[in-house]
Structure 1
Amino acid sequence: MLLFLRQCIVASFILLFTTTAFGAPSLKDYGLLPSTSMMEISPSGKKIAFRKSTADKDLLVVYSLSEKKTLLATDISEINPSYTYFISETKLVIVASQYRRIYGFKDTHNVSTAFTIDIKNQKIEQLLTPGHKIYKGQTGLGDIVSISQNRKYAYMPAYVGRSETDHSPNYSLVRVEIDKPKRLKVIEKGHDDSRDYFMDNKDRVIAQTRYDQKSNIYEVLVPEKKGWKVIYSQEMPILSISMVGSTPDFKSLIMLADNSKTGRSDYYLMSLTDGEITPSRLGRDDKDIEGVITDVNRVAYGVRYSGFTPSYHFFDKKLDERIQNALQKFPEHSVWLTSHSNNWKHFITRVEGSNYAGDYILFDDKNKPSFLGTQRPNIKPGDINPIGTLTYKAADGLEIPTLLTIPKSKVGSLKNLPAVVLPHGGPASYDRIGFDWLAQSIASQGYLVVQPQFRGSEGFGASFNLAGNGEWGKKMQSDITDGVLYLTQKGIIDPKRVCIAGASYGGYAALAGGAFTPEIYQCVVSIAGVSDLPRMLKEEKSQHGKHHWAVSYWESNIANNELDKNALKEISPAFHAQNFTAPVLLMHGERDKIVSYKQSKVMRSALKKADKEVKLIKLEDENHHLIEGQSRLLVINKMIEFFNAHIGEKATRPAP
């Protein structure tokens, strides 16, 4: 039924928001950035807003579902939009980022900013401007913690100095008049360690959180007549809990933290009267609670559970029944709840998986689905390479969940296939069933894509996640190797035609595969991968400060706090270049602030010195996340050329 709905949409909407595909999709079609994204619905459910990207245009579009016409199409090509949402029927917030210089600081920085867009007069206003009553040297100006009930004010955290020359500003809370953003007022001056603020529906601050980087003390505070009162305090070297919202009565904060009994991330209520923590009955033995569904003021409606496909529970029984009915229409697919109208009369889902390449479906209160658009109009359901799951045991018996993206031409015969192992980044992340542009691009060229969820991955419980601490280059890596051996033993992959590729931590894992198990892989591709761990930790301390919790996290995650430099070198691929037998392709964004471009330069130098085959491609004007469409196309084209040369049908392989 829903596949048919893709064809049943108003003609004017098709002409404006889709393109026409002829014949089989190209590699470019698989690798392109989504042409439609960030779809949101207005409070009444009568309008939608979305980003529309083409080769020469990048627009924010507002479309009237009731009038069947475009109300706004504004150019956003000069910024990198992250997300948008309605704050009223006539106004949108769009949060975007730009690489630019900050006065008084070196280099360019990725600066996030929130803008409002008036649908009627098409006026765009920047809410917070560095230097106008707030500290110039800050990069994060896109957060809104609350919108006033009259929709006149936005409450935003920002660093505010005591004077123009103050270079140690406090993280304060600012009230911004939406129609006239230059009119702003600091309503809470903040503290050296302030991290977040929470408000009620009467424009009152009800709580703030603080974290002291030196003492590792995390606190929750509530206002009292003469300042602030601490209601909760705990020492934690690494932030292991998160306050994510409030209850509808604003008497409690919602906390996500690990449940010691189940080993899963769970949902707790913290009373704002005395800090007492009450467990909920929402936790599950088989899944983590990895997200809370909230409105713009962070009032919670329900939770999202982890898994290869997301699942949900809503507090309102009727709403929960509607959501479950919607999910049942897409078995074994990821259904993401992207937006909802007031009172949830309408909600939008994005569906991804073996039959959907990112389709937006609108549900009304009668549970009637309507197709709104697709992220990839040139990809038909029959063009999607199917996604399967399996579980194998690592050498020590730990079960490793795995995704397989199967070339559609090979579904009938899973025997002796060329394969690309594609470990995820993070490493505290995990892969899901969906339209993974990289996996789909590779599979479209006839390669089986293997995505093992090695120990240290999130989504499979605290013990599975913590089992990765100190296992970089060790068990986290052998988990990946064991997957290759398992699939080889089953006759699914050809052991003489296996490459490994990945981005970020996945790039490290790819390089570690080439360095520590060179007999397994015929080629190695690292995108923005770490190669030199002592250098990485030094860069983290330089960027955040040696007391920052992020530094503590990496020290624990990488080496289990055993920071002997020689031990770090033992698991750094750059110090084992002589072990490589497979050719290496390195690609890295020149503006990467998460893993510095230097990491790939160091790896290239080490391989060249060892007289190994290596090539480094600098991705101009690109950051860590491959946000530019041209960069994605360059990356995938170079990868496929590399795979074809070394494990393709015409590749020259050494004689047995």
Structure 2
Amino acid sequence: MLSLFLVSPGVAKTNELTAKDYGALPKVSMLTVSPSGERIAFRMTGENDSDIAVVMSLAEGKRLSALNLSEITPESIYFANENELILVASNVRKLWGFRGKLDLSTAYAFNVADGEVRQLLTPGDVIYAGQTGLGSIVGLSPDNKYAYMPAYVPDSKNDQSPRKSLLRVDLDSPRYPRVHFKGRSSSWDFFVDNKGEVIAHELFDNKRNLHRMLARHGDEWKEIYRKETSVPSISFMGLTPDRESLIAIANNGETNRNDFYTLSLITGEFANLGFGREDADVEYTYTSLDRRVWGVRYSGFTPSYRFFDPALDQRMQDIQAQFAGHSVWLRDWSADWEHLVVYVEGSQVAGDYYLFPKEGSPVLLASARPQISSEQIHPIATMNFKARDGLVIPTLLTLPRTRMDNLKNLPAVILPHGGPAAYDRVSFDWLAQALANRGYLVVQPQFRGSTGFGLDHHLAGSGEWGVKMQHDVTDSVDTLVRKGIIDPQRVCIAGMSYGGYAALAGGAFTPEKYRCVVSVNGVSDLEQMLRGERRDHGKNHWVVSYWEESMARGEADKDRLRTVSPARFAENFQAPVLLIHGEDDVTVPIRQSEYMHKQLKRKKKAVEFLELKDETHHLVTGTARMQTTEAIVAFIDKHLQP
């Protein structure tokens, strides 16, 4: 393979790495390729939280431009055209006239030639001041001069119920964007043709629990989909390449897996494209900037793919075969699909970016973590076990390399994932790797309520917070104890977000199982959490319905929620607790950890609380990530090391 050597691999030995080394942000991330395939862009982080976006010419092998990202937190980077780079970023801050802090996400256009940066949509400039999620582009004009972007637009300065509409934004001069398509009170999404005209309009009415899709037929709009539901059960992802149908992901009643469908804009009829599988869900669509869909990715511990083009199918299979047992992620592609950017990670790779041209040899573009060699990565294994009621629980195990010849009686850390509607994958999990580097077996059970393993597995977690979902986590400990793999006297539980809740629930409801408990940005009191969601969204909002169903199967009264809230059972804790929380977390407010800390202190329990300054729910800064990793490893070492 050829190599551009943007970042060369490291050569240090295993015992030289610290928790901080594993927890550091990737040196290179978000790598993307231009439409021609001749340029790439990526995010590069370094010492002292230095953070830049770099644009390089592949033909010349040199840097063309760079942008300092220290004032924004990028979420994604991609090319709108050869000379315009789009950066979607977020910034948590207070906004005058609004309660609390808001995650004010938006998009910026960066001109590679002149280095100018322009914010594409600015709250208060035509659009409503107090809104987030302004980074979406649903299409470009034929001349690539304008981007079509959804946002809420008030009718007047005093309008507190603005409609979601579609704005036409000039990439060169984005101030005072024009309302391209005026939405309705229940507008949700827009789909445009090759001229930028809206041809499909999605609506969801929270008060009526009504999900609809309208299609333009000449000068009129025809309803082609209608369903009464409190939470939408179908996701419209984009358009077919010919723009004659919408692409949708919905459950297939025969397989109980998420499947791939078209909805005709003319007839309103659904058709199954035959992409569905009985062993995996369709979980993601590969969609170009004009929202045309070209293929899908399937769920699983490692990803797999299928595309409309059989030749592209074969290319991806051939690429994956070169990295057997690893996760091979398709990250980007040129406009003609001649060049594919893939990211590889797993038991021997800490994250490498490759460019695979249609003809010729692949190119190693960059290593995400050059300080970590293959010898310093701890192997990842999979296993299945049966929970106490017989449900099969898929599980990932990160094995300490130093104990590979004797996987018996190991100290262990149970690491349930966040979500809970999510799942773990074969990847470079920085926390799991840091813990395995200290000799711990890291166990990641995909408890009921996880996605990726079929609708039955997901729905089995409905209303089971703190009950059957928690039993699955407990059963993972008991199974590995029975097999003699882990030492029952040396087990800790740790997690982030929902995983933080599961860790606290472990300490509250099965205190005899764990020697220590770590919760990062975790939920501790479900009643308080749901009260906040109702206040922020309104009691009729689908988000509230989702959480009520997830937490308590729709019966979300305070008595029910309190019975599974760890903060209400502080007296049960036997193990010491470490609470870590970002002060700017708007997903799970820091008051969740503050309340848990207060309750544990009141019951005279051993507890530590680390507040992460200027940090959000997702631990996006390098300083916070390394601080968190070091604190967790030191805390667990204190309680599990001989």
User: How does the TM-score come out when normalised to structure 2?
Assistant: 0.98
For the Cα contact (< 8 Å) 1:177–1:183, is it kept in 2?
Answer: no
For the Cα contact (< 8 Å) 2:262–2:272, is it kept in 1?
Answer: yes
For the Cα contact (< 8 Å) 1:322–1:367, is it kept in 2?
Answer: no
1:653 matched residue in structure 2: none
The 1-side partners of 2:536 and 2:557 are apart by 21
The 1-side partners of 2:556 and 2:610 are apart by 32
Could you give the per-residue CA deviations for residues 49-68 of structure 1, whole angstroms, max 9, x where no partner exists?
Answer: 00011124211101111011
The 1-side partners of 2:397 and 2:468 are apart by 21
The 1-side partners of 2:230 and 2:161 are apart by 23
The 2-side partners of 1:134 and 1:530 are apart by 33
> Is 2:371 aligned against 1:378?
yes
Could you give the per-residue CA deviations for residues 565-599 of structure 1, whole angstroms, max 9, x where no partner exists?
Answer: 22221111111111111111111111111111111
Could you give the per-residue CA deviations for residues 493-533 of structure 1, whole angstroms, max 9, x where no partner exists?
Answer: 00000000001110110011111111111110011111111
How far residue 126 of structure 1 moved from its aligned partner, in angstroms, is 1.2
Could you give the per-residue CA deviations for residues 210-247 of structure 1, whole angstroms, max 9, x where no partner exists?
Answer: 10001110000123555533221101111211100100
1:539 matched residue in structure 2: 532
1:520 matched residue in structure 2: 513
1:286 matched residue in structure 2: 279
How far residue 336 of structure 1 moved from its aligned partner, in angstroms, is 0.6
Q: 1:218 to 1:202 in 2, by over 3 A?
A: same
Could you give the per-residue CA deviations for residues 298-327 of structure 1, whole angstroms, max 9, x where no partner exists?
Answer: 111111000000000011011111111001
1:40 matched residue in structure 2: 32
The 2-side partners of 1:367 and 1:389 are apart by 35
> Is 2:332 aligned against 1:339?
yes
- The AA in structure 2 aligned to 1:58 is D
The range that moved more, 20-29 or 262-271, is: 20-29
Name structure 2 gaps, 5 residues minimum. none
The range that moved more, 47-56 or 17-26, is: 17-26
Could you give the per-residue CA deviations for residues 389-442 of structure 1, whole angstroms, max 9, x where no partner exists?
Answer: 000110111111000001111111101100000000000100000001111111
1:177 to 170, 178, 200: 170
- The AA in structure 2 aligned to 1:494 is D
How far residue 618 of structure 1 moved from its aligned partner, in angstroms, is 1.0
For the Cα contact (< 8 Å) 1:40–1:338, is it kept in 2?
Answer: yes
2:640 matched residue in structure 1: 647
The 1-side partners of 2:178 and 2:307 are apart by 36
How far residue 543 of structure 1 moved from its aligned partner, in angstroms, is 1.0
Could you give the per-residue CA deviations for residues 18-71 of structure 1, whole angstroms, max 9, x where no partner exists?
Answer: 586644322221100111001001111111100011124211101111011100
The 2-side partners of 1:134 and 1:469 are apart by 38
2:551 matched residue in structure 1: 558
For the Cα contact (< 8 Å) 2:140–2:290, is it kept in 1?
Answer: yes
Q: In the TM superposition, what are the counterparts of 1:382-397 in structure 2 within 5 Å? A: 382-397=375-390
2:3 matched residue in structure 1: 9
> Is 2:158 aligned against 1:165?
yes
How far residue 145 of structure 1 moved from its aligned partner, in angstroms, is 0.5
How far residue 132 of structure 1 moved from its aligned partner, in angstroms, is 1.7
The range that moved more, 287-296 or 99-108, is: 99-108
Let me know the Cα RMSD of the aligned residues: 1.3
> Is 2:464 aligned against 1:471?
yes
> Is 2:418 aligned against 1:413?
no
Other structure's SS at 2:121 match: coil
Q: In the TM superposition, what are the counterparts of 1:216-227 in structure 2 within 5 Å? A: 216-224=209-217
How far residue 609 of structure 1 moved from its aligned partner, in angstroms, is 1.6
1:253 matched residue in structure 2: 246
The 2-side partners of 1:226 and 1:341 are apart by 36
How far residue 606 of structure 1 moved from its aligned partner, in angstroms, is 1.3
1:241 matched residue in structure 2: 234
The 2-side partners of 1:359 and 1:159 are apart by 39
How far residue 274 of structure 1 moved from its aligned partner, in angstroms, is 2.7
2:477 to 478, 484, 487: 484
- The AA in structure 2 aligned to 1:558 is M
2:17 to 9, 25, 32: 25
Could you give the per-residue CA deviations for residues 309-359 of structure 1, whole angstroms, max 9, x where no partner exists?
Answer: 000001101111111100111111111101101211011100010011110
Paired residues in the alignment total 639
The 2-side partners of 1:296 and 1:545 are apart by 33
> Is 2:54 aligned against 1:49?
no
1:191 matched residue in structure 2: 184
How far residue 196 of structure 1 moved from its aligned partner, in angstroms, is 0.5
For the Cα contact (< 8 Å) 2:570–2:600, is it kept in 1?
Answer: yes
Name structure 1 gaps, 5 residues minimum. 650-656
How far residue 101 of structure 1 moved from its aligned partner, in angstroms, is 2.8
Could you give the per-residue CA deviations for residues 261-319 of structure 1, whole angstroms, max 9, x where no partner exists?
Answer: 00000011001113211112000000000011111111111110000000000110111
> Is 2:268 aligned against 1:275?
yes
1:358 matched residue in structure 2: 351
> Is 2:577 aligned against 1:584?
yes
- The AA in structure 2 aligned to 1:617 is L
The 2-side partners of 1:184 and 1:229 are apart by 28
The 1-side partners of 2:455 and 2:57 are apart by 45
For the Cα contact (< 8 Å) 1:91–1:119, is it kept in 2?
Answer: yes
How far residue 106 of structure 1 moved from its aligned partner, in angstroms, is 3.0
Could you give the per-residue CA deviations for residues 361-409 of structure 1, whole angstroms, max 9, x where no partner exists?
Answer: 1101026221100110100011100000000110111111000001111
The 1-side partners of 2:328 and 2:198 are apart by 34
The 1-side partners of 2:364 and 2:292 are apart by 29
User: How does the TM-score come out when normalised to structure 1?
Assistant: 0.96
The 2-side partners of 1:61 and 1:180 are apart by 23
The range that moved more, 178-187 or 269-278, is: 178-187
The 2-side partners of 1:18 and 1:96 are apart by 28
Other structure's SS at 2:211 match: strand
- The AA in structure 2 aligned to 1:47 is R
For the Cα contact (< 8 Å) 2:12–2:372, is it kept in 1?
Answer: no
For the Cα contact (< 8 Å) 1:105–1:137, is it kept in 2?
Answer: yes
The 1-side partners of 2:527 and 2:124 are apart by 37
2:630 to 611, 631, 637: 637
- The AA in structure 2 aligned to 1:120 is A
How far residue 644 of structure 1 moved from its aligned partner, in angstroms, is 1.1
The 1-side partners of 2:46 and 2:63 are apart by 17
> Is 2:397 aligned against 1:424?
no
- The AA in structure 2 aligned to 1:51 is R
The 2-side partners of 1:102 and 1:116 are apart by 23
1:504 matched residue in structure 2: 497
How far residue 165 of structure 1 moved from its aligned partner, in angstroms, is 2.2
The 1-side partners of 2:552 and 2:201 are apart by 33
For the Cα contact (< 8 Å) 1:64–1:70, is it kept in 2?
Answer: yes
> Is 2:78 aligned against 1:82?
no
Could you give the per-residue CA deviations for residues 145-180 of structure 1, whole angstroms, max 9, x where no partner exists?
Answer: 001221111000011111222221100001111112
Higher relative CO (Cα under 8 Å, sequence separation at least 6) belongs to: 2
1:206 matched residue in structure 2: 199
The 2-side partners of 1:205 and 1:489 are apart by 60
- The AA in structure 2 aligned to 1:42 is S
Could you give the per-residue CA deviations for residues 84-115 of structure 1, whole angstroms, max 9, x where no partner exists?
Answer: 11111111111111123323223332111111
The 2-side partners of 1:375 and 1:430 are apart by 22
The 2-side partners of 1:203 and 1:540 are apart by 35
1:451 to 432, 444, 449: 444
For the Cα contact (< 8 Å) 1:48–1:65, is it kept in 2?
Answer: yes
Other structure's SS at 1:439 match: helix
How far residue 184 of structure 1 moved from its aligned partner, in angstroms, is 2.4
The 1-side partners of 2:196 and 2:184 are apart by 20
Other structure's SS at 2:513 match: coil
The 2-side partners of 1:350 and 1:19 are apart by 15
2:619 to 611, 617, 626: 626
The 1-side partners of 2:251 and 2:107 are apart by 33
Other structure's SS at 2:183 match: strand
